Amino acid sequence: MAMFWQGYGWCSRTYRPLHGTDLLALTHLYQPIIGATSIGLYMTLYHQLPLHRAGVSTICSQSYLLKLLSLSSQQMLEARYLLEGVGLLNTFEKKDLKNGSYYEFELIPPLSPIKFFQSEVFSLTLYNLLGKDRYIELQKMFIQPDTVESIQVSKNITKSFQEIFGSLSPHEMRKAAEIQKDHFWSWDQDDEGLIDGRFPEWNHDDLSVIQRHLSNQIDPHVWTKELEAELKELCLLYQLEAEDLLKLLRDPTITGRGQIDMNRLRSFVKSEYQMRLSHSLKPKQAQPQPLGSTSMKQQVTKQSQKEPLTEEDRYFQQLGMLSPLELLSYYQGGAKIPDCDINLVESLIRDYGLPQGVVNVLLDYVLQKHDRKLPRSLVQKIAGHWKRLGITTIEQAKEQARKELRNSKRQAETKKKNQQSVVSFNKNKQQDRQKKGSPSSEPVVQMSDEELLKKQAQIRAKLTLMREQQKRIWEEEENTP
């Protein structure tokens, strides 16, 4: 939670003045949700601005704002958070040489009544606070359904500017060019997204809004922490917005009889992701976008652009901005990601509990080292090792990958040296044998025919004697009672 420093100054900014409809929306639609104190803070900040145009107020002290509101610093901070939560206020902490540190409160006009009621978050919240009858009255007050539906034929007979005032003369056109040259602001500075208000945003970690929307479809005991963990995993892995997840869960083929079919949901999300990914890459002729390309560099945050980064640091920073499946899509070159690889990525996140950035570093390390292959057993072995080491950040994963790469290179060099030593030893030994002759070979004895016959006679005599001795032994054994 951001601190509230009373020593800081403050100023307010807006992109357009408020209209009458804006004031009605603030009073009847926003005030029941955030309270009168927050609306009072909004109007106080607004009336510090120049009237009837966009602009920036002068920098005042925090104590002056607290006195205007008759609030304590804690009450003012809570009111500010409520305005930020419903999209009516942006807060920036700034610092310059002239004014030092100060807050800039950027006032955002409220949504138009039609867009307000189109927002499921706002409409559901207002319905629960006011009740059905008052909610319907407000809808009738701001939205008239019978405007022009009964008119069958209409013709636009409005006169144009040229029909009333005629064309501009060359002299007047030169004057227009001079006026444009004297402009002291840039049209590109306006944020069109802030002119008509902003829809509310919520964190993916908080699924309570989705749970309330599905309270009539899902049994309360079904919505468990384990279910929330699986849904968060799907949002993280397949880059789902909360609105997308809510739309999927409302599908009767996925949610029915108070239960959620997670297998069907996963299968549907996988196919939708593959289709979305293939469509997004078709205009580029299904070519993978290098991680160091210009379009990827544009995604680097403004904070990182202020500090010089090496190519390696920028590369790993981009790894942290992708989902694991987006990383695989770059290596696939726009083709379909194999189901076994998708299941492997899901296992790394669900079973091993590795953060998204760590998974990306692991996959990138294995793909580059093993010729774009993803051996499942090897990836899981490394994942288990990194989990035991307690690796939770990209920086830690990067250092561990470097360490393992150095070890593998050192082992490869040692193995190569050993093989060279064995080959050299065998080669030298063979050369020595060729020079000296084999030490195990015996000299061949040359014998005459007479000596050979004499030798054979001696051998036959010995064999005859051995047979006679064996015969006597058998006879003695037979005669023995």
230 alpha-carbon distance from chain centroid? 16
Helix (H) or strand (E) holding 56: strand 55-56
The residue written with tokens 């998204």 in the block is 356
DSSP-assigned beta bridge partners for residue 218: 258
C-alpha R_g of the chain: 41
Q: Burial letters for 431-455: b for 16+ Cβ neighbours within 10 Å, e otherwise?
A: eeeeeeeeeeeeeeeeeeeeeeeee
> Residue 322: pLDDT above 60?
yes
> Residue 39: pLDDT above 90?
yes
State residue 278's pLDDT score: 57
Task: Output the six-digit token pair for 224.
Answer: 């468990």
> Residue 26: pLDDT above 90?
yes
- Which has the higher per-residue pLDDT, 391 or 252? 391
| Ranges 25-39, 47-61, 146-160: which has the least confidence | 146-160
Q: pLDDT tens digits, residue range 191-208?
A: 444 455 665 555 555 677
- For strands 9-14 and 55-56, give the pairing: antiparallel
Confidence of residue 147 (pLDDT cuts 50, 70, 90): very low
Q: pLDDT tens digits, residue range 291-313?
A: 443 334 444 444 444 456 677 77
Question: CA dihedral in degrees (50, 55, 58, 60; nearest 10)?
Answer: 90
- What's the one-letter identity of residue 283? P
- Which has the higher per-residue pLDDT, 10 or 427? 10
> Residue 226: pLDDT above 90?
no
State residue 29's pLDDT score: 93
- Helices of type H across 322-369: 324-332, 339-350, 356-369
Q: What percent of the chain has pLDDT over 70?
A: 71
Residue positions counted in the chain: 481
pTM: 0.41
Q: Could you give the CA distance from residue 246 to residue 242 in angstroms, rounded to a whole number?
A: 6
3-state secondary structure of 131: coil
State residue 74's pLDDT score: 87
| Closest by Cα among 170, 269, 189, 252 to 217 | 252
DSSP-assigned beta bridge partners for residue 259: 256
